[in-house]
Structure 1
Amino acid sequence: MTRPIPEPSPDLYTEEEISQLVHEFYAKARKDAALGPIFEEHVIDWDAHFDQMIDFWSAQLRGTSRFRGAPMPKHAALPDLNAALFRRWLELFRETTQELGNMQLKQHADTVAEFIAGRLWMGYQMSNVPEQEPVGLNTVEV
């Protein structure tokens, strides 16, 4: 069961915290055996990616309106994704938010991340295997 997503709050998190979250998360993801090769193959300009992700998370957590993008088509176009990769992404994300030490940020960001991962996974399945009924991230793969 997905938790309701809290409203963005510019008073609870700073831009510096958002930037730290993005940079520290991607430092982990780039080194990860499962996720690292995917990111390294598909992210051409890391500085631009960081800027876009900071804008995205700032919009989600602080309510800013800088983010411009369409994540679904980009993720749907990636080859060979599976639920385990999305779960690993969430695991690293949760580790990162825990390490930041702001528990309000952790709760809010983790809730948003769970929602986004679930939506991207559903969209990925509908785009790449439309003949199959999509399954959630918490469904056990056999």
Structure 2
Amino acid sequence: MADIENMDSIRLLVDDFYSRVREDVLLSPVFAEFIVDWQPHLLKMYAFWNTILFGVPDYKGNPFAHHAKLTVTTRHFYRWLELFGETVDLHFEGHKAEEAKKRAEIMANMFQNRMSQLKDKNHVLL
């Protein structure tokens, strides 16, 4: 099995991963609420992972801003990571594959922590 090597690898990973997300009982409703046309989202994800894994400055934007409005729990983050890891492991092995999983874990933890802080901040009683 090859490592994640280029944009073709990224497309395979992203396409298969989001295909799984769309079929997942827990995650599908969250994404369906915000994504009607998947093609623009997939294009952003190709650029995002190309920037994250290969340093190619394709991605422009603030990924957290898009996720902050989601109603998700720790279960959602865990499931997202589980599907992502399974998808990577199904298609790839090597340094970049491991880096992709580690980066996904770091982002999920950061997003979850920041979303929790926002929620707490919005529920402070004065």
Q: Normalising by structure 1, what TM-score?
A: 0.79
Paired letter, 2:75: A
Q: Which runs of 5+ in 2 are unaligned?
A: none
Aligned residues of 1:25 and 1:92 also touching (Cα < 8 A): yes
For residue 131 of structure 1, report the CA deviation from its aligned partner.
7.0
How do residues 77-88 of structure 1 correspond to structure 2 at under 5 angstroms?
Answer: 77-79=69-71, 81-88=72-79
How do residues 1-142 of structure 1 correspond to structure 2 at under 5 angstroms?
Answer: 13-79=5-71, 81-130=72-121
For residue 130 of structure 1, report the CA deviation from its aligned partner.
2.3
Q: Distance in 2 between matches of 1:50 and 1:75?
A: 15
What secondary structure does 1:130 align onto? helix
Q: Distance in 2 between matches of 1:125 and 1:82?
A: 9
What secondary structure does 2:121 align onto? coil
More helix by share: 2
Aligned residues of 1:76 and 1:124 also touching (Cα < 8 A): yes
For residue 74 of structure 1, report the CA deviation from its aligned partner.
1.5
Q: Quick one: higher RCO (CA 8 Å, sep 6+), 1 or 2?
A: 2
The residue number in structure 2 matching 1:136 is: none
How many correspondences in the alignment? 120
Deviates more, 1:94-103 or 1:108-117: 94-103
Aligned residues of 1:35 and 1:85 also touching (Cα < 8 A): yes
Q: Which runs of 5+ in 1 are unaligned?
A: 1-11, 133-142
CA displacement, residues 8-57 of structure 1 (integer Å, 9 cap, x when unaligned): xxxx6111000111000001011000001111111132100000000000
Paired letter, 2:104: A
Aligned residues of 1:23 and 1:50 also touching (Cα < 8 A): yes
